[in-house]
A and B are shown apart, each in its own frame.
Chain A
Amino acid sequence: MSYIELKNVVKTYNNGAVRAADGISFDGEKGEIIVVVGPSGAR
């Protein structure tokens, strides 16, 4: 098992109208640098 694990993470707002996180999965180990990159202003 990894030190940090996201498994199919979903986050919705406005009763599901906005899916800010739409099934996000990734993992990482202790002492690692994890860069999460996304376009500015993009969901």
Chain B
Amino acid sequence: MLGQVELGKTTVLNLIGGMDSVTDGKIIVDGKDISKYNERKLTTYRRNDIGFVFQFYNLIPNLTAKENVELASQICKDALDPEQVLKDVGLENRINNFPGQLSGGEQQRVAIARAIAKNPKLLLCDEPTGALDYNTGKEVLKVLQNTARNKNITVIIITHNQAITPMADRIIKIKNGKVNEDKINENPVSIDQIEW
């Protein structure tokens, strides 16, 4: 193999998130063809329309949970109230704590709050439970599920973990850079009912 190769599913996330541009094809988000955007328009798109959640939380260590969320809410229009969003992800008692004072699951919930506070069109999550233990991972997925259901935000979760697919409305399986399976799940279940 030559050097480092992008993984198919991560490539998809980078393209939808406007971090990379397509070689060919189209990506339409809320009626806009972002695959035609130049670098400057992509920057605005990333800022206003996309919330990112990564495997590692990427919080600023010397800012509190609230300040980390404010970093995002201050740079975009239509932002949500940082304190309210932290409450929504179950961190009402952690608002003024620093990342180092929080567990991994709590840090990921701050990262999710930061992404949601932008009131994005899409919440893009790349292996969001990859660094978490089983139960904490489930809690984080529950927060993501609630976000889609309660805030009507489209949540895209990239994962290698097949077991979580029953929580999805749509399941897209990617193999060798192609869609291997595209399934609509008519009866998505609460993450509480999924075991793996």
Task: Given A14-B2, A21-B8, verify A34-B169 contact (CB < 8 Å).
Answer: yes
Residue of B nearest to A19 (CB): B177
Q: Do B6 and A4 touch across chains, with their CB atoms under 8 A apart?
A: no
Contact: A37 with B154, CB < 8 Å? Answer: no
- Of the candidates B9, B11, B148, which one forms a contact with A32 in the assembled complex, judged by CB atoms under 8 Å apart? B148
Chain A interface extent, by class: 35 or more
Q: Point out residues on A near B: beta carbons under 8 Å.
A: 1-14, 17-26, 28-43
- B: number of interface residues (CB 8 Å): 57
Interface centre among A12, A35, A43 (most CB of B within 10 A): A35
Partner of A20, one of B8, B144, B158: B8
Mostly, the B contact residues are mixed
Given contacts A1-B28, A41-B7, A43-B5, contact A9 B22 (CB under 8 A): yes
Within 8 A of A (CB), among B133-153: 144-145, 148-149, 152-153
Contact B154 A28 (CB under 8 A): yes
List the one stretch of B83-91, B93-101, B159-167 in contact with chain A: B159-167
Do B24 and A8 touch (CB < 8 A)? Answer: yes
Tell me whether B156 and A1 are in contact (CB under 8 A).
Answer: no
A5 touches B179 (CB 8 A): no
**16 A-B contacts, Cβ less than 8 Å apart?**
A4-B27, A6-B15, A10-B23, A11-B23, A13-B5, A21-B11, A21-B177, A24-B12, A30-B154, A32-B169, A34-B154, A36-B156, A37-B158, A37-B161, A43-B6, A43-B176
